[in-house]
A and B are shown apart, each in its own frame.
Chain A
Amino acid sequence: MHFFRNLKRNIATFVLAVTALTGLQMKTFAQDDKTLLGAGSSFINPLFSKMFAEYNAKTGIMVNYQSIGSGGGILQLTNKTVDFGASDGPLNEEQAAKFGVPVLHITQASGAVVVTYNLPGDNNNISLTPSIIADIFLGKITTWNDPKIISINKGVNIPGLPILVAHRSDGSGTTNIFTNYLSKVSPDWKTKVGSGGAVNWPTGLGGKGNEGVAGLVKQTPGAIGYVELIYALQNKMDYAKIQNKKGKFIVPSIASVTAAGNVTLPEDSKIFITDTDAPDGYPIAGFTWALIYKEQNYNGRSLDHAQKLLKLLWWNIHEGQVFTVPLNYAPLSKEALKVAEKILKSATYNGKAIL
């Protein structure tokens, strides 16, 4: 009854709310000269927020970035509702086919995935080899005192706890990088599971988001899982040293992640830098890319607008890189920067280079 008594007021409130929302929407989609729109990866959102705030202070250009996930960003770019997308993985064949026209991948920063665990006692630096990690996540190694683990961790007191595997339950770029790595180092993993943002896990429990996996690991003695390096650093979690392709055991850090990207990259930069050849590189690392159309004259966009977009991305990979380390992102390596510059210069307006 109370509702009906206030019906008039309720209707008025509702109308007001709708008007406000529509107004907001219209403002978001307005293509004015000083606003650029982006959407995608939530992993890079903290870095982008900082970068774009600085860029706005410097140039007066507003960048409106919506952190809706890589898949969503790609979809928005396909529908041409944003100027650029951002993704933690390169476009797959189906996504590229949907675009129908060439899309440029411009590396923005790197991130890494760390293997975190919960062992009682002072075990904050155990070492793992690729085959051990694959066997644990395949469910083949089920206890911590397995001879394979003991043999490379001499002098470390490892208890005989059963292993509980924790993985992401939501589709994510983190899972994509991690399973891509496992597919590269373990033929068994490649045939049985494969790689993707979500896979059919042979064993273990799923947690939603980095915090879900971290929660499972923290609560269960003997648990092992994987989270983003940034998340592990911010939450001071234990993570394992991992043996890379050159046989070195590497501690995941900003330097070793940047080093992982310091290899010869393909011209389109569409590559997972997992299991890197770099001698000091951490093997479970990956790029986040900004995605733009190669031909910028679409949907009646002006040359000026295209120039503004490219200048922003150029600034991101040069001056903008100083904001990476304070926020625990790994800056681009020299090689990655070289390739990104070349790719940006290949963008065109009516077939003519923009930069």
Chain B
Amino acid sequence: MDLKIVHFYHSPYFFYLDKVFMKKVKSSKGQIRAESLFKRTLVAIGVSMIVLVFCLMLTLIIESVPSMKSLGLKYLWGKTWDPVNNVYGALPFLLGTILTSFLALIISIPFSFAIAIYLGEYNPKGWLSNFLKNTVELIAAVPSVIYGFWGLLVLVPLVRTMEMKLGILPYGIGIFTASLILAVMIIPYAASLGREMIRLVPSPLKEGAYSLGATRYEVIKNVILPYTKSGLFAGILLSLGRALGETMAVTMVIGNTSIIPTNIFSPGNTMASVIANEFTEADHTVYLSALIELGLVLFVVTVIINMIGKGIIKKFTNE
């Protein structure tokens, strides 16, 4: 033991290390300063994000005051949106937003999960996998106004033909069409996150299941999905957030009426779409303020849904 140490002390390697450390000690003061500066920068940028979100909310609240004063809580369950008589009720738009977003989510989940499982488990490498992965990611990169045009020119006539066969008023435009468009737009979010999660499943787990005689389907069902469920759910949450706020594509195909939707084929409107449509020409104070309050409601709805989602993810992870 002793001999070894002596040997090490006299080795050329030791002298090399010694040189490096001496150099480091000399510059240590500057290093410490740089370290703390770096840390402080990180904290400052992090905190500024929190401040930004709170300022955003504060602005929304302050600007909504005239509308809150004149309409009170009735704003939330009022059914009429009448800029001429200054009566504003957000209920039709609240329903429209929630209905389109959740319908879109239900439509998109089979697709995004199938893509995630195929790319994560069945075919993680190779040109087909890459091609599919890039195509799905491209879906997220296409500007929403293009989806709107595509919806208006292709999807609306298709839905209209379907509605004629079903014997419903053949508008072609409405909540169902908007949900279809939204579903396509949100697939990549859940699919990409799901794929990453599935690839992170430790192979000993999978190999263990295979060695016990499980089939591929059984491994996916009993090992991969339970292991990744919190991640998959986070992907769904991400998709939902996107669906709640989407404006342009929705406003082009939803029909923009402030009448409460009676079924999924009836025309409606969403909060984001109303704001985008009416904000620039809102010509009196209460009107403008009512639109900003709509933004506040959308903000709060998003926060609530996110909090519920986080709660569910936490529950999944603890199990």
The docked-state distance in angstroms from the alpha carbon of A200 to that of B278 is 12
The docked-state distance in angstroms from the alpha carbon of A72 to that of B142 is 30
Which chain A residue has the least Cβ–Cβ distance from B252? A208
| Residues from 166 to 215 in A contacting B, C-beta threshold 8 Å | 169-172, 193-201, 204-208, 212, 215
Q: Is B178 an interface residue (CB 8 A)?
A: no
Which chain A residue has the least Cβ–Cβ distance from B284? A94
Within the complex, which residue of B80, B251, B281, B285 is in contact with A94, where a contact is CB–CB below 8 Å? Answer: B285
The docked-state distance in angstroms from the alpha carbon of A169 to that of B254 is 11
Quick one: given A205-B257, A208-B252, are A199 and B283 in contact (CB under 8 Å)? no
- The count of chain B contact residues (Cβ–Cβ below 8 Å) is 29
Chain B residues closer than 8 Å to A94, beta-carbon distance: 283-285
Say yes or no: B173 contacts A216, CB within 8 Å.
yes
The docked-state distance in angstroms from the alpha carbon of A21 to that of B314 is 45
Say yes or no: B84 contacts A194, CB within 8 Å.
yes
Within the complex, which residue of A72, A171, A212 is in contact with B278, where a contact is CB–CB below 8 Å? Answer: A171
Say yes or no: B282 contacts A199, CB within 8 Å.
no
Within the complex, which residue of A69, A206, A215, A219 is in contact with B281, where a contact is CB–CB below 8 Å? Answer: A69
Q: Is A59 an interface residue (CB 8 A)?
A: no
| Residues from 58 to 94 in A contacting B, C-beta threshold 8 Å | 68-72, 74, 92, 94
Chain B residues closer than 8 Å to A170, beta-carbon distance: 277-278, 280-281
Q: Is A220 an interface residue (CB 8 A)?
A: yes
Quick one: given A172-B281, A205-B257, are A199 and B171 in contact (CB under 8 Å)? no
| Residues from 248 to 286 in B contacting A, C-beta threshold 8 Å | 251-252, 255-258, 267, 269, 273, 277-278, 280-285
Say yes or no: B82 contacts A212, CB within 8 Å.
no
Say yes or no: A71 contacts B256, CB within 8 Å.
no
Q: Is A164 an interface residue (CB 8 A)?
A: yes
Chain B residues closer than 8 Å to A220, beta-carbon distance: 171-172
The distance from the CB of B97 to the nearest CB of chain A, in whole angstroms, is: 16
The docked-state distance in angstroms from the alpha carbon of A99 to that of B251 is 34
The distance from the CB of A190 to the nearest CB of chain B, in whole angstroms, is: 10
Contact surface of A with B, Cβ cutoff 8 Å = 68-72, 74, 92, 94-95, 164, 169-172, 193-201, 204-208, 212, 215-216, 219-220
A-B contact pairs, 24 of them (CB 8 A): A68-B280, A69-B280, A69-B281, A70-B281, A71-B282, A72-B280, A170-B277, A170-B281, A171-B281, A194-B84, A197-B281, A197-B283, A198-B277, A199-B82, A200-B84, A205-B171, A205-B255, A205-B256, A205-B267, A208-B251, A219-B152, A219-B157, A219-B172, A220-B171
